[in-house]
Amino acid sequence: MRQYFIARFLSIIPKLLVITMLIFFGLKLLPGDPLARLVNPEEMSGASLEQMEAKREELGLNDPVIVQYVRWLGNMLKGDFGYSLTSHSPVRKIIAQRFPATLEICGLAMIFAAFFGLLMGCQCARHRNTALDYGNTVIGLIGSSFPGFFVAMCLIMLFALKLKWLPTGGRMTVGETGLLARLKYMVLPSFCLGFSMIANVMRMTRDSMLDVMNRDYITTARAKGEKEGVIFAKHVFRNGCTPVILLLIGRFSLLVGGSTIIETVFNYPGMGMLMITSISASDYQVAMMVLLLAAVMVLLLSAVGDVIIALLDPRVRFGKA
Q: Are 267 and 170 in contact (CB under 8 A)?
A: yes
The pLDDT of residue 72? 84
Averages of pLDDT over runs of 10 residues in the chain (321 residues) are 77 89 82 71 72 78 84 85 82 89 90 90 87 85 79 90 88 75 88 85 89 85 82 80 79 74 88 86 82 84 76 57 41
Domain ranges of the chain: 2-77, 91-318
Assign a CATH topology to domain 91-318.
MetI-like fold (1.10.3720)
| pTM confidence score | 0.78
The pLDDT of residue 320? 46
Alpha-carbon span 182 to 178, nearest angstrom: 6
The pLDDT of residue 321? 41
Alpha-carbon span 108 to 193, nearest angstrom: 9
The pLDDT of residue 316? 56
The pLDDT of residue 257? 66
The pLDDT of residue 157? 92
